[in-house]
Chain A
């Protein structure tokens, strides 16, 4: 028996949150790889968010670090990079731009070789 298209899309939509939830540990592992308590404390004190990203594709940690430090709103001293698991984090002044916009600016600077996916943005006002 085949399903009509509308119920099939509905089934996938119902499944999607569960699939995303199933990858949660990978996300926390990537956060742990670049977590720096001093950065978290400093960001909270200066009303900045700490943005955690997964890195996909071949990346050179030094280049990633240099590019991230140049992005508008990013605190250069807060950039942390991990090779394994491949991850990146930084403190961001969200009044300058959003995490997604900051990542888009990084993509442009990196020239498409590397993809960054925002895992979590920890906002000191709203909590985790």
Chain B
């Protein structure tokens, strides 16, 4: 009898297990036959939204993400505006926006949610005072998270018109949205982009303590040809030549040069952090890395089915994304960078910090650069200095491994500097000043193998800096006397666009 009962229990358990297995084996989250692809025509009207430029429970207005809102139908309103943004200290840029912010608000939904979207083109709305923003123009919306007819949903609308359409989120991921009106390059480069997070239907497989959205983008700026000003500051506008040559003047996180250096994102030791990272370009690639930790999980394109473990860096092309998760091992400032370091030096740098003291050491990756001299010899010296010497020295940024070199051409004559740069090891053996420097800084300066021409260029740069640089803390670039330096848009980069 007992053996018969035991047999029945075993048989029931086996049957239950088989039912569960058959059920899960048949579930395909990417089954196209179960996706909602039903076409629902868009509507264009002449009724204009008023009030806030962005609305909806699924929106987060900055890097700190709100949790997912539970309703299965999400109303999202993102109106387009033209406004002046503070791209960097002293840099007022004429931008075009979704929701009146650059980047636009983050939209957060779940697979299966219906997004009911509407957008009024409010680029013609009056602004206080003299209008210095771009003239009103047509705009549109392109949601990478949607599977819809572009000919119907992504049409351009004129100022005063409202576009409305809806779609169902069918794939999990972190998706870009942007304006698709020609010239698309210009509309994106002017600030018209943002992020849509589509969570998997069952949520994410891990629990985290912090969630932040990071949007990397490039800006291509030049002084306004009409020399307009905003609050006494010269206006910067889109540089059409630079944007076509893919030579930005700024590469930033969340629309602000060094924004997360000035305002670090908080975390505590031992916490698990999840970053939703999107590179919106418009043209360059990002090598996203966080100094001091390793990505325990990387979900490419924001989908947990595309998982890596233990990555140092994530390569993101323009409109690519990833979710990265990592642990904060101990107190400190964990520096987010684009490891294409030319991009980091243009502002693609930020900090996740456990406290104010831990955030102090930023200059390992962000030593202040100075304004560019107009003299081409000194200019060449500056470029060489910044590529070879910034790791150990600064100009006006304080001592590092070696001394701050602001004032060096006044302390040492040209002959001494020439000898030092040519053969530091010989100077260290015989020159008393060189020996004092070694006593103080402990590290001998290595011989850089410089040519005579290179040495002349360095000395020209030091002389220019000593006469003109007026350092102000960590400001980038360190300012110089009026009339002595090139504006940022004319500074030679690694890929100069005009000789």
**A residues within 8 Å of B by Cβ?**
21-26, 28-29, 31-33, 35-38, 40, 84-85, 127-128
Contact = CB atoms under 8 A, between A and B. Distances in A.
B46 A32 contact: no
Contacts of A23: 151
B209 interface: no
B151 A32 contact: no
Interface string B112-149: 00000000000110000000000111101000000001
B135 A24 contact: no
Given A35-B137, A35-B138, A84-B182, 20 more contacts: A21-B152, A22-B149, A23-B151, A24-B151, A24-B152, A24-B155, A25-B150, A25-B151, A25-B154, A28-B140, A29-B156, A29-B182, A32-B138, A32-B182, A37-B123, A37-B136, A38-B135, A40-B158, A127-B46, A128-B158
B159 interface: yes
Contacts of A25: 150-152, 154-156
B182 A33 contact: yes
Contacts of A21: 151-152
Contacts of A26: 151
B161 interface: yes
Contacts of A35: 137-138, 158
Contacts of B135: 36-38
Contacts of A38: 135
Interface in B163-203: 181-183
Nearest to A22: B151
A111 to B, nearest CB: 28
B156 A32 contact: yes
Interface of B: 44, 46, 123-124, 135-138, 140, 149-152, 154-159, 161, 181-183
29 contacts: A21-B151, A22-B149, A23-B151, A24-B151, A24-B155, A25-B150, A25-B156, A26-B151, A28-B140, A28-B156, A28-B157, A29-B156, A29-B181, A31-B156, A32-B137, A32-B156, A32-B181, A33-B182, A35-B158, A37-B124, A37-B136, A37-B137, A37-B159, A38-B135, A40-B158, A84-B183, A127-B46, A128-B46, A128-B161
A49 B138 CA distance: 18
Choose among B44, B140, B151 the residue with the greatest number of A CB atoms under 10 Å from its CB.
B151
Contacts of A28: 138, 140, 155-157
A12 to B, nearest CB: 20
A101 B413 CA distance: 80
A34 B123 CA distance: 16
A24 B140 CA distance: 13
A85 B140 CA distance: 16
A3 to B, nearest CB: 27
A36 B137 CA distance: 7
A85 B182 contact: yes
B46 to A, nearest CB: 6
A121 B110 CA distance: 42
A32 B123 CA distance: 13
Nearest to A33: B182
Which 9 pairs of residues, A with B, have the shortest CB-CB distance? A32-B138, A37-B136, A25-B151, A32-B156, A28-B156, A28-B155, A32-B181, A35-B138, A24-B151
B226 to A, nearest CB: 15
Choose among A21, A29, A33, A84 the residue with the greatest number of B CB atoms under 10 Å from its CB.
A29
A81 to B, nearest CB: 14
Contacts of B123: 37
Contacts of B181: 29, 32
B149 to A, nearest CB: 8
A38 B138 CA distance: 13
Contact of B138 (A22, A24, A31, A84): A31
A33 B152 CA distance: 18
A95 to B, nearest CB: 24
Contacts of B138: 28, 31-32, 35
